[in-house]
Amino acid sequence: MDISAQLWSLVDQARSSSSSARMETLSTGRKRTAEELQATQSLLTTSQALVNAATMAMVRATGHISTVMAALDAVTPTSMGHLQNSLLLSDAELLSVSSSLRAFMDTLEKATLLTATRRRCGRSSSASPTTTGASHALDSFSTDTSDGSGHKGQTGLVAHLRQTVSTLETHIAAKRLHVALAKEELALYKRELFVYGHCGVLSCSEEVSTQLAACVDTVRKAAASRDERNAKTGEYDGADKRSAEADAQRGGHHLSSKPQATKSGFGSTFRVVDTIIQQTAKSVKTAGSHADSALQVALTGGHAVRQLLHAGTISVHGTLMLDSGARSGRDHNHAEQIAETSMLAGGVGEPSLPTLQPYELTSEEKASLEEQNAALLQAQHEASAQDAKAVEASVRELSQLTSLMNEQVMQQSEKFSLLIKNTELAHSHVKKAVGEVQKPLSTFWNPTRQLIALLWACTAIVLTANWLSR
């Protein structure tokens, strides 16, 4: 769906309808003003940019989701972060485009309100033709048309842009949901990958894995043939039982006086479902037994592996000690003998699993293990001695730091006591000075009153001399 083409077609339709309506209602043709053309061009440019941004965001999100879904089967832990970052980037782009669309929707609503206000003011006021043309500058954005039934609908440019924005918001919301589902799928895959890496899966060499796969195929074929024989036997038994039940039902039908209502297809459907459930249970049980056998083989060692695989394999210790050449032929012959014995005992070619024996160590392996144990004990003792020395050094450093801290605390306490003494001495000096100052002021004929009396006497002498001179 090309939203841009539909938008431009709706804009052309709106222009033609608005121009015809104006030609019918207005007596004199009015040309578009510069303000109207500028506003129309701005809205169209913004809508085109938003459509392009939304399309690009949805295309990128689709590409990232496809990349994640395609890489889940062959993904590595190192590339998991890149896939998650790409999904986060797509989510951020879609969120940005969605916020831009909401802001553009607010702009369109403001334009609609402004147009309605101007049209209302133009209708209520009687003005000159120039004023009328200016008031209808945005009239073509949202024009209301009424049909014969009295229903009103917006056919202006703003209405079409609002519809386009709402459609884009719907598509972006759906794409964000797809991105969220892809993120959940990736998180689930990471969690399953972590659990798989920590579930204790044992590793083995390529030879052992190929022989184990061949043994598993043989066991599966034998189980399939046994299931086929059991199924045939079950079918024969089921046919006998069904014939007996049919005879009993016919006899009961003749004996009963009231006919019973028949349910066509119910019995056959139930038998088919029961057979499917039984086969599923058998397959699950067989798979569980095979899995238990494989796990027991992995836990009991190389001897049980050689017995189960019926092929020559070497032990892990033999591989490490580079003596596989001398022991592989002997193990191969022994395994062939076990395979022939199992084929004869099975009767019809069914491989019977031998009894698993515990792994026994040879004298050389015991000696090497004892040497490794002694080396580990010696290394442990050395590490313990180094740890003890390190602890002693740290304790010594801690004691030195403690003594230095105590000395600094004592020096700070002495300085604080000296400061307190100096403060007390200064306080006593201040008290003495205040007392010395207050002593002359405590008497009646103090220097202040003497000065005031001298000033009054001088004033009286001056006044008397002035009176005498006159």
Q: pLDDT for 298-314, tens place per residue?
A: 445 444 444 444 444 44
Partners of 146 in beta bridges: 152
Residue 94: closest CA among 133, 132, 123, 58:
58
Examine the pLDDT at 23 and tell me if it is beyond 80.
Answer: no
What's the rounded Cα separation, in Å, for the pair 1 and 456? Answer: 112
- Around 168, how many Cα atoms within 13 Å sit in the side-chain half-sphere? 34
Q: pLDDT tens across 85-119, in order?
A: 888 888 888 888 888 888 888 888 888 888 788 77
Asked, for residue 73, whether it belongs to a domain, the answer is yes
Decide if 424 is inside a domain: no
Average pLDDT over residues 51-69: 81
Q: Which pLDDT score, from 0 to 100, does residue 449 have?
A: 86
pLDDT at position 176 is 86
* Nearest-10 Cα torsion for 169, 171, 177, 181: -160
Measure the N-to-C terminal CA separation of the chain; round to a whole number of Å.
122
Which of 197, 217, 234 corresponds to the end of one domain?
Answer: 197
Q: What element of type H or E holds 152? A: strand 152-154
| 406 in any annotated domain | no
Residue that finishes a domain, picked among 338, 360, 382: 360
Residue 183 sits in the same domain as residue 234: no
Q: Note the pLDDT tens digit of each residue in 318-338.
A: 444 444 444 444 444 554 454
> What is the predicted pLDDT for the residue at 456?
95
Residue 462: domain span: 440-470
Region 325-353: what's the mean pLDDT? 46
Confidence of residue 460 (pLDDT cuts 50, 70, 90): very high
Indicate whether 348 pLDDT > 50.
no
Reported confidence tier of residue 263, pLDDT bands at 50, 70, 90? very low
Residue where a domain terminates, one of 306, 327, 360 = 360
Instruction: Using only the alpha carbons of the chain, give its radius of gyration.
Output: 51
User: Looking at residue 464, what is its pLDDT?
Assistant: 94
Q: What is the pLDDT of residues 383-427, one digit of tens each?
A: 888 888 888 888 888 888 888 888 888 988 898 889 999 999 999
Query: SS3 for 202?
Result: coil
Task: Evaluate whether residue 145 is within a structural domain.
Answer: yes
By percentage, how much of the chain surpasses pLDDT 70?
A: 52
CA distances to 248, 250, 253, 263 from 243, in Å: 9, 10, 15, 18
One domain for residues 182 and 213: no
Q: What is the mean pLDDT of the chain?
A: 68
Residues 14 and 60 in one domain: yes
Nearest to 71 by CA among 182, 179, 174: 182
Q: Output phi, psi for 152, to 5 deg.
A: -110, 145
User: Does 346 map to a domain?
Assistant: yes
Residue 161: pLDDT over 50 = yes
Q: In sequence order, which residues have a C-beta less than 8 Å from that of residue 146 and are 6 or more positions away?
A: 152
Q: Measure the CA–CA gap between 175 and 397, rounded to whole angstroms.
A: 64
Pull the structure tokens for residue 155. Answer: 């056919």
Residue 242 reports pLDDT greater than 80: no
Task: State the pLDDT at residue 157.
Answer: 77
Tell whether 243 and 176 lie within a shared domain.
no
192 lies in the same domain as 276: no
Considering the domain architecture, whether residues 180 and 212 belong to the same structural domain is answered as: no
- Residue at 425 is within a domain: no
User: What local confidence, expressed as pLDDT, does residue 361 receive?
Assistant: 72
Q: State the angle between helix axes of 302-309 and 206-255 in degrees (0 to 180), rounded to the nearest 10.
A: 60
pLDDT at 462: 95
Residue for token pair 């006899």: 251
Q: What distance lies between CA 35 and its chain's CA centroid?
A: 49
Does residue 225 share a domain with residue 172? no
In the chain, the number of structural domains is 3
Do 306 and 190 share a domain, yes or no? no
Do 19 and 78 lie in a common domain?
yes
Residue 420 counted as domain residue: no
Query: Do 108 and 60 share a structural domain?
Result: yes
Averaged pLDDT for residues 448-457: 91
- Alpha carbon separation from 450 to 47, 103, 439, 446, 461 (Å, rounded): 98, 88, 16, 6, 17
Q: What dihedral do alpha carbons 191, 193, 198, 203 form, nearest 10°?
A: 170
Residues 77 and 168 in one domain: yes
Strands (E), 316-398: none
Structure tokens at 375: 């080396």
Q: How far apart are CA 186 and CA 11, in angstroms?
A: 43
- Provide the b/e sequence for 408-443 (b: ≥16 CB within 10 Å): eeeeeeeeeeeeeeeeeeeeeeeeeeeeeeeeeeee
Same domain, 214 and 169: no
Q: How confident is the model at residue 376 (pLDDT cuts 50, 70, 90)?
A: confident
Mean pLDDT to the nearest integer, 280-285: 61
Q: CA–CA distance from 418 to each of 372, 404, 413 (Å)?
A: 69, 21, 9
Residue 459 lies in a domain: yes
